[in-house]
């Protein structure tokens, strides 16, 4: 089925509070050189104690409205990717609906962890192309600092907070979507998790602190093998060559992981947009943050062909080749 969905607006927000590598050195046994060498990260943004995912989501939507002069009263569905909702319920999406007083809209949260943005694009594209909705608001919002163990130096140096929003609208003649690839490896779920009700997985006991637990080496190995194969499938579906891609925008998990994926996928690192250096790993928010940085730095231009690829806990992954069709702001 030929896509009829177009991305028409983008907004982002990050908290004001910064957590630098020097700050972390005073919290845990680490230092700037160690962190940069292994992750490429310099700092991350951290939500204040009384600042939650819904607050960040609302700020991102306000940015979208302001930058692109959009009205949301006719949005047919609000979908929010988050692993850190304010409540089990009501959803962040319902809180966004209330704040902006959007009538006659559906609202739901979903969890595809760090692949949440690309999964959200997939769902919104399907909603619009199928004819169910003419306008869908996709939001990603994470306050990972609230579920990070700051005594564990292998994870606490990685994560930051932020939010982003994109608007997708029906366009019968100018779709953003050229190819999509999606997949899951549930057997790898034990390598990155946060407990809720169950205290075991596949019969193996789990740490039950409610904080994130990650076997970084295993996740690195999986992503380095899996994502290049997905990129090949995307290019084949779109009937494009690697040189046809203007920018590769992967999940900004770790700069060293991105370098490994680029090497295996034969994509120059210089053609990659990231957000990891000054925002850390923001899970589902990292790709749209990288897009916003690309726009602000004058790298990302209208008409560019982008390869987006999200991957993370689950283990989940999803990629798109899209045409960037947003006007400069």
Q: Which H or E element spans position 284?
A: none
Active site (annotated) includes residue 114 = yes
Low-confidence ranges of the chain (pLDDT < 50): none
Residue-wise pLDDT for 147-167, tens only, equals 999 998 888 999 999 999 999
Tokens encoding 287: 């790709």
- Is 156 known to be catalytic? no
In the chain, what is the greatest distance between 2 CA atoms, to the nearest angstrom? 55
Which residue in 251, 254, 262, 320 is the catalytic one?
Answer: 251
What is the pLDDT, as a whole number, of residue 329? 67
- Please say whether the beta carbons of 140 and 64 come within 8 A: no
pLDDT at 196: 78
Residue among 122, 254, 281, 317 flagged as catalytic: 281
The pLDDT score that the predictor gives to residue 1 is 79
Torsion angle of C-alpha atoms 93, 95, 99, 104, degrees rounded to 10: 50
Concatenated DSSP letters of 71-83: --TT--EEEEE-S
Cα(192)–Cα(315) distance, integer angstroms: 8
Domain annotation for the chain: domains and CATH numbers: 5-170 (3.40.47.10), 178-323 (3.40.47.10)
Q: What is the distance, to the nearest Å, from the Cα of residue 167 to the centroid of all Cα atoms in its chain?
A: 15
Report the chain's terminal Cα–Cα distance, integer Å: 32
28: three-class secondary structure by DSSP: coil
Render pLDDT for 271-303 as a digit per residue (tens, 0 to 9). Answer: 999 999 999 999 999 999 999 999 999 999 999
Contact criterion met (CB below 8 Å) for 195 and 148: no
State residue 197's pLDDT score.
Answer: 62
**How much of the chain, in percent, has pLDDT values that exceed 70?**
99
pLDDT in the model for residue 128 = 98
Q: Is the dihedral of CA 126, 128, 132, 138 positive or negative?
A: positive
Amino acid 211: pLDDT: 86
288 closest CA partner among 123, 120, 127 = 120
> DSSP letter string over 152-221?
-HHHHTTB-EEEEEEEEEE-SS--SEEEEEEEE-GGGGGGEE--SS-SEETTEE---SSS-EE-HHHHHH
Catalytic, 251? Answer: yes
Asked whether the beta carbons of 189 and 316 are under 8 A apart, the reply is no
Distance CA 145, CA 148 (A): 5
Q: From the candidates 114, 191, 262, 317, which is the catalytic residue?
A: 114
Q: What are phi and psi of 7, to 5 degrees?
A: -80, 120
Q: Structure tokens of 11?
A: 């907004």
């Amino acid at each position: 089925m030929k896509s009829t969905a177009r991305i028409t607006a983008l907004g982002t927000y990050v908290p004001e509070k910064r957590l630098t590598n020097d700050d972390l050195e005073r919290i845990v046994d680490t230092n700037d050189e160690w962190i940069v060498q292994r992750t490429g990260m310099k700092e991350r943004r951290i939500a204040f104690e009384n600042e939650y995912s819904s607050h960040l989501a609302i700020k991102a939507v306000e940015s979208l409205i302001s930058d692109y002069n959009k009205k949301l009263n006719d949005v047919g569905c609000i979908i929010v990717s988050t692993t850190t909702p304010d409540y089990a319920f009501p959803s962040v999406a319902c809180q966004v609906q209330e704040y902006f007083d959007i009538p006659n809209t559906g609202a739901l949260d979903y969890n595809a962890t760090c692949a949440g943005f690309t999964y959200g694009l997939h769902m919104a594209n399907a909603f619009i192309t199928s004819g169910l909705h003419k306008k869908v608001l996709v939001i990603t919002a994470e306050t990972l600092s609230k579920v990070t163990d700051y005594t564990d130096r292998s994870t606490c140096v990685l994560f930051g907070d932020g939010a982003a929003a994109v608007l997708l609208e029906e366009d019968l003649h100018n779709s953003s979507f050229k190819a999509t690839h999606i997949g899951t490896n549930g057997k790898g779920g034990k390598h990155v998790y946060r407990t809720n009700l169950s205290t075991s997985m596949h019969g193996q006991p789990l740490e039950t602190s409610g904080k994130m637990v990650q076997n970084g080496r295993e996740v690195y190995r999986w992503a380095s093998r899996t994502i290049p194969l997905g990129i090949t499938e995307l290019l084949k579906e779109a009937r494009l060559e690697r040189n046809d891609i203007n920018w590769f925008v992967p999940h900004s998990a770790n700069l060293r992981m991105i370098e490994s994926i680029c090497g295996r996928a034969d994509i120059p690192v210089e053609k990659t947009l990231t957000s990891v250096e000054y925002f850390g790993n923001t899970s589902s928010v990292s790709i749209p943050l990288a897009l916003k940085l690309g726009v602000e730095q004058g790298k990302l231009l209208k008409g560019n062909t982008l390869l987006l690829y999200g991957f993370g806990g689950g283990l989940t992954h999803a990629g798109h080749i899209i045409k960037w069709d947003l006007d400069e702001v």
